Amino acid sequence: MRTFTAHILSATRIFFEGECESLTVPAVDGQYGVLAEHSNAITAIVPGTLTFRAAGQEAQVAAISAGIMKIENNDVLILADSVLRPEEIDEEWAKRDAEDAKEAMLQKLSRQQYFSAQAQLARAVSKLKIRRSYLKGGHIIK
C-alpha cells in the first residue's frame, strides 16, 4: 500500500512521526480523511477522534484537541494542543473538567468566556468518549 509521511505534534511532545497508510481527523464540517497523494490542503481540527494507520500496522486511535492540519506534497503535519492515546486519558480528571465546563457555561459569562468553556467541555467529552470506546479494563479494545 502507498504511504505518506505524517508528523503528529502536540504542544508538549511528538506524538507520531513516520509513514502512514491512512489518517482521519475531526474537522469543522465532519471527518477529514487522508491517503497517499492527497491534494495539498489546510484544515482546522476540532476536538474528537484521530485515527491513523502507520505503514504495515493496525489502525490506532487518539483523542485530539483543536488544531490544524496541513497536507503538502505527500507530507501531513498536524499541530494540536493535545493528542492522547486512550490509556493516557485520566477519566476522573476528564469528568471533573467536563463538570467544571458545564458549571461555567451556566454562569453569566462574557461571550469569550462562554466559548472557552464550550471548548473545554468539547475536549473533556471527547476524551471520555475515546477512553470508554477504546479501553476496557486498562486494555485497548480491538
The verdict on 75 and 93 lying in the same domain is no
Q: Which domain holds residue 14?
A: 4-84
Burial track 71-100 (b if 16+ CB lie within 10 A, e otherwise): beeeebebebebbbbbeebeeeebeebbee
- Is residue 134 pLDDT above 80, yes or no? no
* pLDDT given for residue 67 in this prediction: 96
Q: How many Cβ atoms from other residues are within 10 Å of residue 131's Cβ?
A: 20
Do 120 and 127 touch, CB atoms closer than 8 A? no
- Same domain, yes or no: 66 and 11: yes
Gap between the Cα atoms of 55 and 22, Å rounded: 9
Quote the number of domains for the chain: 2
Q: pLDDT digit string (tens) for 118-130?
A: 888 888 888 888 8
Position 48 scores a pLDDT of 92
Instruction: Please tell me the pTM assigned to this model.
Output: 0.80
58 and 116 fall within a common domain: no
- Of residues 20 and 122, more confidently modeled: 20
